[in-house]
């Protein structure tokens, strides 16, 4: 037994004296590695008689614990010393001039999300987020899409093959609408939020990618009506497109989570053969473009989220962020957004120094 004691003391003394991480690692292997002496001693336990084992095992285990602790402590001390050394020796000259040609740019999707957050902050909205890996209840059921609801089929959902520990069917969220549910459940009413984020659908062509971005809006309060919805969307779109002549058309539609539901079109006019937003959509040479879905939050959705629909009402809307970016900044192929091509980013990206702000105008000055 004292032989074990001596060896252990020697090992710990060597560990405490190790002056670099490589030396420490060598000592670890020597004691605790596959062929290390402590590991080999542990292996001998199997051949001992039960009494012998009962006697030896605790001592060997204790020695292993002490050596492992000594190694961990020495490792932390060496790493700490290395950090201190670097902090003392490395310096950063903040007075150096900025690089001649700044590298990197803000992706149009991030730019547009920043612009939206700024516009809606000015209207008293805060930004909410939710998980991209969502469960079936938040993504569908609580939004008034029961398991057999036909609207589910339209979402081309990516499902996970296995259920989670609580037996929930997990999926990649197909829209940002589940954040409505999460916000109502978490904070109750009143609510004024926008929820930007990634969403996923099994779909791919020039205007569809399996991952894209949406922004959801939700307002819950007393006595909210469709007029509030229309004013909010008009104010937001005028600020976003930086034009006062933005005209909206609300068309009756259907979404399971809103009642009534409206699809919102925005008027455009042809200028030099290009469609420019603004102007009267009904006049000759003008037209309407479908932009977003919205409506008054369905009573059933309020109930699912634990709110009393006789006390609280609200409106919601959902719009594609990538689509907003394409309309404002003139890209025509959505797939290029996610190619990571540095030339595309250099052309369409924005300066990180050019933060959108209401006072300076949310549009980027490229």
Residues lying near ligand DAH in the complex (CB under 6 A)? 175, 177, 216, 255, 258, 293-295, 316-318
Cβ proximity to ligand DAH: between 160 and 254 the closer is: 254
Show Cβ contacts of residue 158 under 8 Å, excluding neighbours closer than 6 positions.
171, 172, 200, 201, 202, 210
Q: 226 in helix, strand or coil?
A: helix
Rounded Cα–Cα distance for residues 301 and 243 (Å) = 35
Q: Shortest gap between Cβ of 80 and ligand DAH (angstroms)? A: 51
Using a 10 angstrom Cβ sphere, with 0-12 exposed, 13-18 middle and 19 or more buried, the burial of residue 94 is exposed
Q: Which residue is nearest to ligand DAH (CB)?
A: 318
Of 261, 256, 134, nearest to 195 by C-alpha is: 134
Q: How far apart are CA 224 and CA 18, in angstroms?
A: 71
Comparing CB distances to ligand DAH, the nearer of 267 and 295 is: 295
Question: How many residues appear in the chain?
Answer: 366
Q: How far apart are CA 212 and CA 320, in angstroms?
A: 8
Q: Which is nearer to ligand DAH, 120 or 350 (CB)?
A: 120
Report how far residue 282's alpha carbon sits from residue 115's, in angstroms, rounded to the nearest whole number: 29
Min. distance of Cβ 315 from ligand DAH in angstroms?
7
Using alpha carbons only, what angle is made at residue 174 by residues 172 and 179, rounded to the nearest 5 degrees? 90
- Smallest distance, ligand DAH to C-beta of residue 145, A: 10
Would you state the structure tokens that stand for residue 246, as one six-digit string?
């933005």
> Which residue is listed with tokens 């190694």?
71
Nearer to ligand DAH, 81 or 159 (CB): 159
For ligand DAH, the closer of residues 25 and 132 by Cβ is 132
Least distance to ligand DAH, CB of residue 119, Å: 17
Quick one: CA dihedral 304, 306, 310, 313, positive or negative?
negative
- Residue number with CB closer to ligand DAH (157 or 294): 294
Evaluate whether 307 touches 189 at the Cβ level (below 8 Å): yes
Cβ proximity to ligand DAH, 12 vs 145, nearer residue: 145
Least Cβ distance, residue 271 to ligand DAH (angstroms): 30
Please state the closest distance from residue 27 (CB atom) to ligand DAH, in A: 59
Closer residue to ligand DAH in complex, CB, 11/195: 195
Query: If DSSP codes are grouped into helix, strand and coil, which group holds residue 59?
Result: helix
Distance (Å, rounded) from C-alpha 107 to C-alpha 350? 7
CB within 8 Å of 33: residues ≥ 6 apart: 39
């Amino acid at each position: 037994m004292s032989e074990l004691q001596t060896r252990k003391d020697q090992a710990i003394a060597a560990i405490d004296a190790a002056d670099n991480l490589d030396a420490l690692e060598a000592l670890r292997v020597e004691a605790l590695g596959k062929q290390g002496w402590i590991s080999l001693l542990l292996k001998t336990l199997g051949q001992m008689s039960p009494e012998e084992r009962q006697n030896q095992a605790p001592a060997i285990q204790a020695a292993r614990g002490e050596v492992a602790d000594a190694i961990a402590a020495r490792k932390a001390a060496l790493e700490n010393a290395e950090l201190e050394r670097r902090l003392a020796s490395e310096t950063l000259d903040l007075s150096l001039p900025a690089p001649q040609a700044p590298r990197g740019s803000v992706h149009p999707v991030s730019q547009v999300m920043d612009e939206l957050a700024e516009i809606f902050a000015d209207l008293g909205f805060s930004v909410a987020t939710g998980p991209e890996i969502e469960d079936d209840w938040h993504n569908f059921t609580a939004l008034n899409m029961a398991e057999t609801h036909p609207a589910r089929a339209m979402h081309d959902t990516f499902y996970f093959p296995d259920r989670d520990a609580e037996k929930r069917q997990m999926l990649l969220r197909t829209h940002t609408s589940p954040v409505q549910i999460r916000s109502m459940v978490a904070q109750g009413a009143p609510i004024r939020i926008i929820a930007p984020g990634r969403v996923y659908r099994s779909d791919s062509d020039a205007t569809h990618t399996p991952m894209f971005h949406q922004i959801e809006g939700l307002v819950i309060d007393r006595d909210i009506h469709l007029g509030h919805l229309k004013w909010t969307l008009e104010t937001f779109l005028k600020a976003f497109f930086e034009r006062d002549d933005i005209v909206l058309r609300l068309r009756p539609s259907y979404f399971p989570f809103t009642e009534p539901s409206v699809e919102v079109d925005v008027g455009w006019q042809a200028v030099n053969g290009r469609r420019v937003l603004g102007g009267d959509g009904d006049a000759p040479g003008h037209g309407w473009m479908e932009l977003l879905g919205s409506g008054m939050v369905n009573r059933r959705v309020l109930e699912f989220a634990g709110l009393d629909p006789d006390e609280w009402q609200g409106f919601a809307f959902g719009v594609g962020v990538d689509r907003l970016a394409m309309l404002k900044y003139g890209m025509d192929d959505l797939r290029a957004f996610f190619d990571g091509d540095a030339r595309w980013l250099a052309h369409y990206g924005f300066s990180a120094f050019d933060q959108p702000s209401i006072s300076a105008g949310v549009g980027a000055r490229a």
